[in-house]
Amino acid sequence: MTSERHTSQTQIERCENCKCETTHTVSVEIRTESMKQENTEFSREPYRITTCQKCGETTSQRMNNA
Ligand SMILES: [Zn+2]
C-alpha cells in the first residue's frame, strides 16, 4: 500500500443499489452525535463513508461496534 495524503480512497465493494460490485470512494468521517451535550466524549464516532461511483449511493457505517 502507498501512503499518499489522500483523504479518500477507492475500492471495489458490493453496492446494494446496483446489486453488483462497483468502485466506491471510501473516506472516514468523525461525526458528533449531539443528542446529549454533556457526554460529547463518547458521542464522537468514526464513520466509514462509501460512495458508489456508478449510482452515487452513499452508505455510512459506524466503525465502532462496541
Ligand atoms: Zn451503486
Question: So what's the pLDDT on residue 4?
Answer: 55
pLDDT computed for residue 40 by the predictor: 56
Ligand 1 centroid vs 13 CA: distance in angstroms?
9
Phi, psi of 43 (to 5 degrees): -105, 5
Q: Residues 33-61: pLDDT tens digits?
A: 766 666 556 678 889 999 999 999 999 99
pLDDT value at residue 13:
95
Q: Are strands 44-52 and 58-62 parallel, antiparallel or unpaired?
A: antiparallel
Domain spans of the chain?
8-62
Query: How many angstroms separate the alpha carbon of residue 19 from the centre of ligand 1?
Result: 7
Query: Band of the pLDDT at 6, cuts 50, 70, 90?
Result: low
pTM above threshold 0.75: no
Question: What is the distance in A from the centroid of ligand 1 to the CA of 59?
Answer: 10
Q: What are the φ/ψ torsions at residue 12 (nearest 5 degrees)?
A: -85, 125
Q: Distances in Å between the alpha carbon of 40 and those of 7, 16, 22?
A: 24, 33, 36
The span from the CA of 12 to the CA of 20, in Å, is: 10
Residue 27 alpha carbon to ligand 1 centre in Å: 16
- Cell readout for 3 is 501512503
